[in-house]
Amino acid sequence: MGSLKSLVFISILHLLEGVLGNSLIQLNNNGYESIVIAIDHNVPEDKALIQQIKDMVTRASPYLFEASGKRFYFKNVAILIPENWKTEPDYERPKLETFKNADVLVSATSPPGDDQPYTEHVGACGEKGVKIHLTPAFLAGKKLKEYGPQERAFVHEWAHFRWGVFDEYNNEEKFYLSKGRPEAVRCSAAITGQNKVRWCQGGSCVDKGTCRKDKVTGLYGKDCVFLPDKQQSEKASIMYDQTIDSVVEFCTEKNHNKEAPNAQNQRCNLRSTWEVIQESEDFQQATPMTTQPPTPTFSLLQIGQRVLSLVLDKSGSMANDDRLNRLNQASKLFLLQTVEQGSWVGMVTFDSAAYIQSELKQINSAADRDLLTKGLPKISSGGTSICSGLQAAFTMIKKKYPTDGSEIVLLTDGEDGTISTCFDLVKKSGAIIHTVALGPSAAKELEQLSKMTGGLQTYASDQAQNNGLVDAFAALSSGNGAVSQRSIQLESRGAKLQKDQWMNGSVIVDSTVGKDTLFLVTWTTQAPQILLWDPSGTKQSGFVIDTATKMAYFQVPGTAKVGFWKYSLQASSQTLTLTVTSRAASATLPPITVTPVLNQNTGIFPSPVKVYTAIRQGTSPILRASVTALIESVNGKTVTLELLDNGAGADATKNDGVYSRFFTAFDTNGRYSIKIWALGGVTADRQRVLPQRNGAMYIDGWIENGEIKFNPPRPETNNVQDKQLCFSRTSSGGSFMASNIPAGPIPDLFPPCQITDLKASILGYNLVNLTWTAPGDDYDHGRASKYIIRISTSIADLRDKFNTSVQVNTTNLIPKEANSEEIFGFELEDKSFGNGTDIFIAIQAVDKSNLKSEISNIARVSLFMPTEEPPISEDTTPPCPDISVNSTIPGIHVLKIMWKWLGEMQVTLGLH
């Protein structure tokens, strides 16, 4: 196993069904082209929905144009229509457009009634989002009161998706203290309105009068809401409330509200949304237009049957390291299980020339699948001509279908200096190329084929026990098929066994899967003893033994029983692997999916790597799962990396079902493959548990002509209980290419990661308590050496002049291991801080090489002295418990603590 303390870069694995790096969008002469909006298979057929999408984009284009200073507009959009909708004459066949690379997904809601437009975004400020989510009810105009006009909300989401900006409202913290006065979180602060107590019962709300301050905190209570005036002159900001008629701009540096505790300030270092947009790649290549943009155009594309060809290398080098046989094992799994029923599949092999082994054949039965496996190559010889293989595949496909939207699975282990000669052919074909690089010498240009066509790129080493080749083929489910039809990998294990050793374990079949469940065993010399028991303890028989390919497989009849399937494999002095795949048990119950997706497939040292994967059941996130990434280099070295959903380090948002980590353990230049293991977890109501999503604000109400108008309360499902889940999943995350790794010892160039979850509270009047998640020595690994904490009464000065701001004494603050919770307290000794003073706090972590992290997010407290003492009767407990002189508070180094009214404390930590 590799050390977690070395190096690296590139971003990989990403979220859900979208490949962040594979969006087809291009900015051409100020116009966004090739936007893909997909209607999910779960949406009932309704042709009106297509027109509603067109209307939204058409109206959004001039709004975006004006909001961006006449720089951007929507030029053309492809609408992907599900295969199960009725075919119409004006529907065309997609080319590279798929559900996986769609930029916008229109799907049913979960939980019901939650129609908030939102954008999946797991990266840092300024990084593109993954996908925009809309619902049919939103597009139909049924949520105008709650989210405003569809086109305005869409531009709000486009800013999340394309430019990586964040919301300027805060559902969890709607008010903050500024100079001792409560202010509504908004941008700009010039937006006018009233603070009202809202009381809701059932589906309606009424006004209960003016908000009152809490005597202890100085803030308004949770039942207080800010209602903006419907008529006003303020133009910003779209990322706060785009529904206000006058709001047509983003907040700029001049009118940005830096003090507001919202995601934009926390994630973007107090920068305004317009400042972030100005730094984007789009902005750099666009200048304001002098004419009005044209109206967007639309193409209607309907998903059809999957058309695919395997293009397999059988050159002489495939005889090395049992590669040809491993190719046959992985290809058989793909043909027998992974590829969906109804698909058209053909096969081409190549060495110095190409050979059509099987013309396109539709898979309608097990016999069809078996027949296709007969064409797999038996002998390896000759050179490597990748272009010949691709040309033959295109020729074969054209006999029945256009190559537009078809797929090629290209596997090779050899170098081919002529591969670039067919790049133009590939581009013109309209086909999607998935590449599988086998071994250390596969052509370096191979991945360019995947990049230019939006295909998946994978890598498998010659370490057979890692099962990389089988994993690569198991990941090649359709990018357009319904999730209920996709093959899901439950297990992928391997081991090198010595004399008479056993490989024992169990596989969990949960209630969301079980259809078409297949157990596949491979070996390298002779057939092992295979024992398998179902959850009731019944021993299973019926494995089909294929001695020529050195594999055995067992298809569970019907739907596999829910529970633990136990296996025992025995062999001597050889390598065994076990793979288990299945499909959804029901077309109506979404299966649990683990989706790592390649985000960025190249990188240059020493930029760090982020590893992401999302775990979902439908749209509901799975929390508290055990998630591990196995990252294997071209040298065969494997690093095990625990992924976390803690909202710190590489993880953008806590408890959103996205598990993340920095990867800093690199050992060589070349390809790296990714595998994800996930176990257990809970499913929970998103609204009750999860933080605010990046989405359009739900409008509580507004003031119109002096009249208060409330909307119904946002749908709540607080009666939903956490549900413990028992499941196992394995998923290939593709591959990436690393370069520029220095030879010899790797220099320490990795600082601690930025602290992004710093929170501050105040006890009494002057004791500040801080909490945050500990960074590491190298990003989020290891242990930092020390912390630097500074404070200021100016939020801008603290950001811009951190090194000269007042420093807090942290002599006794010893950093904990990365990802631990840190708690620290200090006393504000400056007696000049008067009532209503705002104090801003930030932290920097320093490692043993004196490398410093970025400045943390800025936390704040406001010194607030209650105007009157709350009454305390003789038989009530004081507001805070009495604390003796010898007591200790975790994280606060206390020599003397004295009780004062409201828990005012004194400690020896001073400022200098």
**Among all residues, which ones are annotated catalytic?**
157
Name the strands in the sheet holding 838-846, side by side, starting at the edge strand that comes first in the sequence.
806-807, 786-792, 838-846, 859-862
Rounded distance between C-alpha atoms, residue 291 and residue 296, angstroms = 15
Q: What is the DSSP letter of 539?
A: B
Count of other CB atoms within 10 angstroms of residue 89 = 5
* Buried b / exposed e along 284-315 (16+ C-beta atoms within 10 A): eebeebeeebeebebbebbbebbbbbbbbbbb
Question: Do 769 and 762 contact (CB within 8 A), yes or no?
Answer: yes
DSSP bridge pairs for 569: 503, 530
Q: What angle do CA 114, 117, 119 make, to 5 degrees?
A: 120
H-run or E-run covering 823: strand 821-827
Which are the contacts of 670, defined by CB distance < 8 A and separation ≥ 6?
Answer: 440, 633, 634, 635, 737, 738
Please, what sign has the CA dihedral across residues 212, 215, 216, 218? positive
> Which tokens in the block code for residue 831?
């007696």
Do 403 and 431 meet the contact criterion of CB atoms below 8 Å apart? Answer: yes
- Encoding tokens for residue 413? 């282990």
- From CA 613, how far away is CA 730, in angstroms rounded? 11
The closest alpha carbon to 409, from 500, 309, 315, belongs to: 309
For residue 724, the SS3 value is: strand
| CA-based end-to-end distance of the chain | 46
Find residue 349's DSSP bridge partners: 312, 355
Q: CB-based contacts of 630: which residues, under 8 Å, 6+ apart?
A: 466, 638, 639, 640, 641, 674, 675, 676, 677
For tokens 């284009």, name the residue. 61
H helices present in 307-356, as ranges:
323-333
Q: Is the peptide bond before 626 cis (omega within 30 degrees of 0)?
A: no
Residue 394 CB partners (closer than 8 Å, separation 6+):
403, 425, 429, 431
| 291/33 Cα distance (integer angstroms) | 18
Buried b (16+ CB within 10 A) or exposed e, 617-653: bbbbbbbebebbbbbbbbeebbbebebbbbbbbbbbb
Q: Contact, 253 vs 145, CB < 8 A?
A: no
Residue carrying the six token digits 């295969």: 83
With a CB cutoff of 8 Å and minimum separation 6, the contacts of 618 are 110, 590
